Amino acid sequence: MFGSLEDEVKLEQSGKKVLTTVIITVIRVLALVAGGALLVFGAHKAIHEISEYHAGRKIYSHVVDKHIKLLPADALKKKRAEEAEIKTYYPPLEIDMIELWKTNPHFIGWLYYEDAEVNYPVVSAPAHDPEKYLTTAFTGEKNSAGCLFAEPGETGDFAKVNNFIYGHNMRNNTMFGKIKVLFRHPQRIKDKYFYFYSIDGHVRTYEIFAILKTTSDSDRYKVPAGSDVVKYINESIRMSVYKNEEIKDMTVPHIMTLSTCYGETGSGQRILVQGYEIRREKYMYEPEKE
């Protein structure tokens, strides 16, 4: 005997409710599984990142310990000084240039920028692989810290009107990672100079005139010429979060631009620290051999 139409409708509605409940349960289970997978993936990524940071820090700590020595301030007057009262203005780093070059033939010099905690070797990127040092450390190991690098063909004399050194904005503030802190808090800047110790036997002192945010395709990456040089400098000063009130004449400068990424990956944002060469001195000493 068949049930009434009303009973059939109730039965159909009941079936739909059961099906809906099943579907919701399945979705919740899948969401939990997906969430768990994402959590595991995120944890794995974080562990890998921490491991990379640790390895990168260890690589460069070893390079510094092996090849660099910060000498007492008066050491500059004692080593290879022809006159007793010779004056120098750069930090007294004793750098084993020869051994650094033997470690990596792309080595062109050493960059020292105290406020940004930059104390690293700089290489010239090879022409056949200009992005090599984005993921290769100075000593040749693959590492996300990479190495500070100049453009292909650079020898370390930085004779162009605008010269560039590139480095990663690391989350643990190594490499050029501390530059973002100075950009966000320019009041923390204590020293307006950074220094490049070149393999050619000279130390170049740069006075900072701008710290600014821009994009990877902006005209800040151009090399100005003629009357455009002054316009370029004035525009950088206008864009800068840091104001150097003691800037001298920069009519014909050699600019050094330190460039690092900023913001989300792929955003194209960059932070630049720009200085102009105010002094070039002969590097006065060689490391003592035991």
**What are the domain boundaries of the chain?**
50-282
Kindly indicate whether the domain formed by 50-282 is annotated with CATH number 2.40.260.10.
Answer: yes
pLDDT of residue 37: 52
Give the CA count within 13 Å in the CB-facing half-sphere of 96: 15
Over the chain, what is the mean pLDDT? 82
237-259: average pLDDT: 86
Predicted TM-score (pTM) of the model is 0.78
pLDDT at 90 over 70: yes
Question: Can you point out the beta strands (E) in the chain?
Answer: 68-70, 93-95, 107-113, 118-124, 148-150, 162-166, 193-198, 202-215, 255-261, 269-282
pLDDT at 51 over 60: yes
pLDDT of residue 11: 46
On the 0-12 / 13-18 / 19+ scale of CB atoms within 10 A, 269 is middle
Longest dimension (CA), the chain: 121
Residue-wise pLDDT for 157-213, tens only, equals: 999 999 999 999 999 999 999 999 999 999 999 999 999 999 999 999 999 999 999
